[in-house]
Amino acid sequence: MRSFAGEPKTEASLQMDLAAIGVTHRMTLLVHSSLSSIGWVVGGAPTVVRVLLSAIGQSGTLVMPSATPHCTDPATWASPRLPDAWLADVREHLPVFDARTTPTTLGAICESFRNWPNTLRSDHPVESVCARGAAASTIVSEHPLAFSEGPGGPFEKLYNLDCRVLLLGVGFNRCTALHFAESLADRRRIKTLRFPVLDNGQRVWTEVPNVADDNGAHFPNVGQQYVAEGEVRQGSIGDAASMLFPMRGLVDFAVRYFDDVL
């Protein structure tokens, strides 16, 4: 049986927490989140989405990654790790990404936002981004297949918009802005993404280069050093330890870090 500690989290209490950490109207806000870290929320994930939208107002823009790693070659999946005997069959029948219907695996808040009325989604088969608000169409309109978190895509546009990043109950290991930063570094780490796409109505597999997964090698250290610079506002949203900071500041700091250590 689940235990219930502390107080229930409500729209009103979460609104106060967002205001206290510095989320304001007209802000372009990129959110990485963990619903379970917040505590017991009355209304669950939709309440969190509603509060975030209210906090930035009609002139703001809310953005969340909506990645779909389950659309890649199943031989590369870490969770679930499929039996080798299944791979050929799963690969043959794996559905092609559909921006309208393919769910994200990034948690209940992201999936609720993906389904929110008037939310737009970029069309990258693996690293799509959802946005709603004043700058949404600009952010999601172009998303290159190769180096999907790099120049020419949503994250460069967010950088240019001087957006704020909110880590809501998660750490810098979940911060996609650091993938964008590494994509700008001279010695960026690279992996190959393989996924099915439709080409003239035919389902075909394609391969593109992308920035490699960090797996905790550098991102937590970058974050720790950036926090020490004093540019990060810290607080709790519900029970979730959270951080708010300018994406541009983090990226510029991280590019220097990666140029030094990679």
Calpha distance 249→222 (Å, rounded): 12
Q: What is the pLDDT of residue 3?
A: 59
Share of the chain above pLDDT 70, in %: 99
pLDDT digits (tens, 9 = 90+) for 40-95: 999 999 999 999 999 999 999 999 999 999 999 999 998 899 999 999 999 999 99
Checking if the pLDDT of 1 tops 60, the result is no
Q: Which residues pair with 41 in a beta bridge?
A: 9
Q: What is the pLDDT of residue 79?
A: 87
Cβ atoms 9, 38 nearer than 8 A: yes
Question: Can you read off the two tokens belonging to residue 127?
Answer: 């690293």
The candidate with the shortest Cα–Cα distance to 219, out of 158, 156, 149, 151, is: 149
Mean pLDDT of 168-183: 98
Cβ atoms 13, 41 nearer than 8 A: no
Three-class SS string for 107-142? CHHHHHHHCCCCCEECCCCCCCEEEEECCHHHHHCC
Cβ atoms 154, 161 nearer than 8 A: no
Mean pLDDT of 19-44: 98
Checking if the pLDDT of 104 tops 70, the result is yes
Calpha distance 98→148 (Å, rounded): 17
Calpha distance 113→34 (Å, rounded): 13
pLDDT digits (tens, 9 = 90+) for 243-257: 999 999 999 999 999
End-to-end CA distance of the chain: 47
Q: What is the pLDDT of residue 8?
A: 96
pTM > 0.85: yes or no: yes
Q: Which residues pair with 32 in a beta bridge?
A: 167
Q: Which amino acid is at 221?
A: N
Rg of the chain's alpha carbons, rounded to an integer? 19
Asked whether the CA dihedral 117, 118, 119, 120 is positive or negative, the reply is positive
